[in-house]
Amino acid sequence: MEKFYIATAIDYVNGPPHIGHAYEKIASDVIFRHYEQRGIPAFFLTGSDEHGIKIQKAASEKGISPQDFCDDIAGKFIKEWKLFDIKYSRYIRTTEAEHKRVVRHIFKTLIERGDIYKASYNGLYCTGCECFLSERELDDDGNCPSHKTKPQEVREENYFFRLSKYKERIQEHIKANPGFILPDYRANEVLNQLKDAEDISVSRSRNSVSWGIPVPDDDSQVIYVWIDALSNYLTGIGYLSNNELYEKFWPTDCHMIGKDILKFHSIYWIAILMAMEIPLPKTIVAHGWITIDQSKMSKSLGNVIAPGDILGAFGLEVPDALRYFLMTTTTFGNDGNYSDEEFKNKVNADLANNLGNLLNRSLSMLVKYFDGNVSPEAVTVAENNNLAALSDKTKREVIENMDKYQPYQAAESIINLVDSANRYINEQAPWTLAKNEETQLQCAQVLYNVLEALRYVSVLIYPYIPNIAQNMREQLGFDDRVSDFMLSDLQWGGLKPGRIASKDSVKPVFLRLDSELAGDKKKNAN
């Protein structure tokens, strides 16, 4: 792979970020960091969608301009992603002048090519979705199935994109490219939606929506979301502004989006790119939703959770625990669930009891029995070494699963290595081996095997829990950054002879959320 470009959906800024937004950004960040570890030039785009009627109304209700409203909410997203160590390459906002230029260029080009035309329209418009719905898409009560409200009947003269012209080509592309849409079963869903696809409105009358990019040479209309928002993936990678960046990274290798907007990315966006004669994305990954205590997030239910509030409630200074939880509780593509109890139990079991305790007791035994030293005789080789073989196998599995955009399965392989190391140390019982002089060398080698496996873990798990991984690496005696370590250099025997630990250096890498040492905030959260 010569390069890797991952782009998330851009978030609509009619409200502040919630845990569902964080799920998508964390997943993308984990995958992005993994590709960086492989030495592959990588680019990670995220951002905010800042035009439309809902923003216009929300700003009016607050008595401020739409731009000021967008600046405020976009700032909250940027702050939240910094809190969660989201390592994006660029944060794009659709109110940027550069983006407006790209959108106008695309709109004008499509008019010139005959793929956009003006016509009168009578349709059912859902304000919540910001899209027109056919009667077939409504539920039995005539409501939008997502928002449970009746759409408005709208009569307007708008510009339309000839989506129907590209239906057959899109169908052929999906069928000819297994893995273009993931999970695989979503491809059939899109093919079924294609059957009913018609030309789509790509503008709104300024009388209905004034907050948007004006249609070129027609100020009575503003460009609608499908060309405006979706074009961010081009703007963000330098289309029309940085040809070197664009040529290096386009097309998108992975579109990371929610399952509810799959149609717009796999049909609308693909048709627009075909019409523009621009290479298509390689893969569109549709992830599931995050429910709260098994209920879908809803303002009316009052169960919308800001991810930063979880960190505050549990007194967590770094986001690793929540990053880990969201990536390891649900097979990617399915819906996941968050509850305080599940969160606490999962991270306590995996990060404190399993991973953290294994590192802590192994290093403590190295200090107790060998004054923190790894002797040259203790260093083991990979041949006929089950833990070494499993460590290398885990590295291969992580790479294979990340290439399939399955961070859940990749993490499962890593935790399996931790489990195996725990079983190994219990079976070998180094505390017993240390008592006899004739088995002390065996004790040293057992500890080396476990610590070397944990070195693998620190590198492989870094994309999920970057702060804990760095702490692990430092406790293993390294003074470099784990983020700079390449997977190609991850070979058995990297833990070198010498003094790597002392009594003062061995500390828990993650405190149980109900620990007396964890602080008043954590205890009060339980």
Does the annotation count 299 as an active-site position?
yes
Q: In 3D, which of 340, 350, 351 has the Cα closest to residue 526?
A: 340
Q: In 3D, which of 417, 407, 414, 413 has the Cα closest to residue 323?
A: 407
Specify whether the CB–CB gap between 495 and 476 falls below 8 A.
yes
Q: How far apart are CA 114 and CA 354, in angstroms?
A: 62
Does the annotation count 521 as an active-site position?
no
Instruction: Give Cβ neighbours of residue 149 (< 8 Å, ≥ 6 apart).
Output: 126, 127, 128, 143
Does the annotation count 523 as an active-site position?
no
Specify whether the CB–CB gap between 246 and 253 falls below 8 A.
no
Instruction: Give Cβ neighbours of residue 73 (< 8 Å, ≥ 6 apart).
Output: 13, 14, 15, 16, 48
Identified catalytic residue from 25, 87, 100, 126? 126
Specify whether the CB–CB gap between 253 and 139 falls below 8 A.
no
Identified catalytic residue from 147, 150, 435, 503? 147
Does the annotation count 21 as an active-site position?
yes
Q: How far apart are CA 217 and CA 214, in angstroms?
A: 8
Q: How far apart are CA 154 and CA 227, in angstroms?
A: 20
Identified catalytic residue from 62, 175, 296, 503? 296
Q: How far apart are CA 272 and CA 291, in angstroms?
A: 33
Element (H, E) at 126: strand 116-126
Does the annotation count 51 as an active-site position?
no
Does the annotation count 129 as an active-site position?
yes
What spatial distance separates the first Cα and last Cα of the chain, rounded to whole Å? Answer: 46
Identified catalytic residue from 18, 25, 100, 255? 18
Does the annotation count 126 as an active-site position?
yes
Identified catalytic residue from 70, 131, 144, 443? 144
Identified catalytic residue from 25, 34, 129, 131? 129
Q: In 3D, which of 50, 80, 48 has the Cα closest to residue 67?
A: 50
Give strand ranges (E) for 235-296: 254-258, 284-287, 290-292, 295-296
Specify whether the CB–CB gap between 292 and 44 falls below 8 A.
no
Give the residue numbers annotated as catalytic, written as ranges: 18, 21, 126, 129, 144, 147, 296, 299
